[in-house]
Amino acid sequence: MPQPLNLVTAECGGQIELPYQPGAPVTICYEYVGLIEQAAPSRLGTVGQAVVTQDIALVGPFVQFSLRSVARQLIDMLELPVWGNAEDAADSLAALIMLEVSPQIAQKTIFGTAYFFAKAGQTEKLDLGAVRPHIAQRYFNLLCIAVGSDLVRYSVFLPIDRQEGPVDLPKNRYGHCLQLAAPERSEYSQIKYAFHQLIRDKYVDLPLLKQVRTIEWLADD
């Protein structure tokens, strides 16, 4: 990277997230972690048809929040072109990175993040919409990218041969997410292409990335 990027954890005076400031350290607020802990199930929980353990419900949204916060800084640091909202772009970049490590880690972090977003959308105390794009929008954007990356693994979020539920990816959207006739035009494929062109091929140590992918970061208990 052209300059250092520092990531710290800190108390944020009651705020769940500090306002974005270019060049400032990426700060993970303990208050946000507290919200994640409040939303996590005592043992097992569900988001639609997906079963989520307490560990997954804790780790998934923490990873997503950390990656999204770093991604927001990278967009400015690397002067990446963004079509639309930079916060949406940071969310999409975080989701892609989660999916790029390994299928097993991707599923755990995606399921955990989806669980947290679903809970946040139901509970006024966990409503993050005032800080970032509407929580429902973030939830369905995440699912759209995940489904586009692996239809089978994330089919639990598709209302196929059953009634559509409130946390399912709506039928009027998942056709666009999949683009079966032209997979290269799916949201996932477009984000992946942009990531490879603008970030991976220019700034990522590919041998080190290969090593990272071999590590079992989130082992099953």
**Can you list the residues of the chain whose pLDDT is less than 70?**
123-133, 180-181, 221
Amino acid 155: pLDDT: 93
Q: What's the CA gap between 58 and 7, in Å, rounded?
A: 19
Q: What's the token pair of residue 10?
A: 């800190």
Q: Which of 149, 117, 152 is nearest to 136 (CA)?
A: 117
Amino acid 123: pLDDT: 64
Amino acid 181: pLDDT: 64
Amino acid 129: pLDDT: 44
Q: What's the token pair of residue 174?
A: 């998942």
pLDDT digits (tens, 9 = 90+) for 99-131: 988 888 899 999 999 999 999 877 654 444 444
pLDDT digits (tens, 9 = 90+) for 135-159: 888 899 999 999 999 999 999 999 8
Residue that the structure tokens 């400032």 belong to: 24
DSSP state of 178: H
Q: What's the CA gap between 153 and 103, in Å, rounded?
A: 9
Going from N- to C-terminal start, the domains of the chain cover: 7-214
Q: pTM (2 decimals)?
A: 0.90
Amino acid 162: pLDDT: 87
Amino acid 130: pLDDT: 46
Amino acid 221: pLDDT: 60
Q: What's the CA gap between 193 and 115, in Å, rounded?
A: 27
